Amino acid sequence: MSEILKNKIAYIYSDDLVTHCDKLPAMKNRASIVHDLVRNYNLLSQENIVVVKPRDATEDELKSFHSSDYIDLLKSLNSFDTSLDNIEDNHLEFGLGYDNVIIENVFDFASCLVGSSVSAARLLAAKKCKTVINWFGGWHHAQRDSAAGFCYVNDIVIAIQIMSKFFDKIIYVDLDIHHGDGVQNAFEYSSKILTLSFHKYSQGFFPNTGNIDDIGQSQGKYYTMNIPLKDGVCDKTYVDIFNEVFSMVIENFKAEALVVQCGGDGLIEDPLGQCNLTLKGLGECINKILKSDLPTLFLGGGGYNFPNTARLWAYLTSLILKTDLSNDIPDT
């Protein structure tokens, strides 16, 4: 495996992973749309990429961040009859209901999803490759003991925890239009993990966190950075702000690795984000990140106009691979 991956970019994929992600009510079949477009652009046939099948996360890995009570509840609900309207108070206490309905085989889903980012993190930690893409990860809202914002488990936090055993300092960059609250909360006391979130911040916009004054706690003070943006932000404003802030952080923090959440809900025509970003604008941010030449894990995230989100992640894949995409969208 080491020789196969040497000097390659790893793309995390398995049929099971896509099947699990496809059944999420808020993102139904999105994973298939994304993977099909990436594949049909022949991006997975490039010489510098290798497809890596992830393994499921262990229960211990899930509990390395999430509370035992929460993971035990997910395990007990794995055979839950989703056709019945029998949500209980303790389900709601753990965030299961409304945005995060109990899905079929919810524990198997959680293990598979977290396992995809755990597998990615371990590739980087073992220095088997320098760049890993996992468009099926990036669930940044889940808290230690609850689901939130369509996120059942926080694969990002668990991946960063693994990487932090091998990289002294890590920058987490969140490009999703929603604040990366779950990741921030996990590391707000750490001076080794700097969280940097660019997001829309307005009254009533989920998750209603990420004020510029949120800067971390105790020894983690000043290692939490929030860049709140106004409704309707466009490419020029976003890219100018990103370039200035990211350059400053890279220069001063001296990170050894990056984790980047590339949510697509800031794109124009997204029904939840309602902003005006384009593929080109977000692509400029990714090119800036690539110039840092650090070990990097690229993750997916939000994105509720599924065709546009697929176009974004296919485009970002091409930038990471340093190859051009045809102007013609391939048949899927």
pLDDT per residue as tens digits for the range 110-167: 999 999 999 999 999 999 999 999 999 999 999 999 999 999 999 999 999 999 999 9
Give the Cα separation of 94 and 141 in Å (integer).
Answer: 13
For the chain, the straight-line distance linking the first and the last C-alpha, in angstroms and rounded, comes to 30
- The residues that bridge with 258 in the sheet, in sequence order, are 171, 296
Cα atoms in the Cβ-side hemisphere of radius 13 Å centred on 49: 21
pLDDT (average), residues 67-89: 83
- The per-residue pLDDT for 85 is 60
Stated length of the chain: 332
> Rounded to two decimals, what is the model's pTM?
0.96
Looking at residue 4, its pLDDT comes to 56
Name the residue ranges covered by the structural domains of the chain: 2-54+113-321
Percent of the chain at pLDDT > 90 equals: 90
Give the model's pLDDT for residue 230: 94
Strand order in the sheet with 170-174: 49-52, 9-12, 131-134, 296-299, 257-261, 170-174, 193-200, 224-229
> Using CA atoms, how far apart are residues 77 and 152, in angstroms rounded to an integer?
13
- If one compares 151 and 81, the residue with the highest pLDDT of the two is 151
Task: Please give the annotated binding residues for a divalent metal cation, written as ranges.
Answer: 176, 178, 265
Answer yes or no: is pLDDT of 332 > 80: no
Q: In the 3-class helix/strand/coil scheme, how is the chain assigned residue by residue?
A: CHHHHCCCEEEECCHHHHHHHHCCHHHCCHHHHHHHHHHHCCHHHCCCEEEECCCCCCHHHHCCCCCHHHHHHHHHCCCCCCCCCCCCHHHHHCCCECCECCCCCHHHHHHHHHHHHHHHHHHHHCCCCCEEEECCCCCCCCECCECECCECCCHHHHHHHHHCCCCCCEEEEECCCCCCHHHHHHHCCCCCEEEEEEEECCCCCCCCCCCCCCCCCHHHCCCEEEEEECCCCEHHHHHHHHHHHHHHHHHHHCCCEEEEECCCCCECCCCCCCCEECHHHHHHHHHHHHHCCCCEEEECCCCCCHHHHHHHHHHHHHHHHCCCCCCCCCCC
Report pLDDT for 86.
64
Range with the lowest mean pLDDT among 13-22, 98-107, 270-279? 98-107
Residue 19 has pLDDT above 50, yes or no: yes
> Among the listed ranges 31-40, 262-271, 305-314, 322-331, which one has the minimum average pLDDT value?
322-331
Q: How confident is the model at residue 58 (pLDDT cuts 50, 70, 90)?
A: very high
- Two tokens at 129? 């490759």
Return mean pLDDT, the chain.
95
Residue 84 pLDDT > 60: no
pLDDT in tens, 208-251: 999 999 999 999 999 999 999 999 999 999 999 999 999 999 99
CA 183 to CA 193: how far, in whole Å?
Answer: 10
pLDDT given at position 1:
47
pLDDT of residue 3: 54
Examine the residue annotation and report whether 141 is marked as an active-site residue of this protein: yes
Q: CA distances (Å), 213 to each of 143, 216, 267, 276, in order?
A: 21, 9, 26, 25
Average the pLDDT over 35-44 and give the result: 98
pLDDT at 267 over 70: yes
Q: Which of the following is catalytic: 35, 66, 140, 141?
A: 141
Which pLDDT score is estimated for 81?
75
Architecture of the 2-54+113-321 domain: 3-Layer(aba) Sandwich (3.40)
pLDDT of 103 > 80? The answer is yes
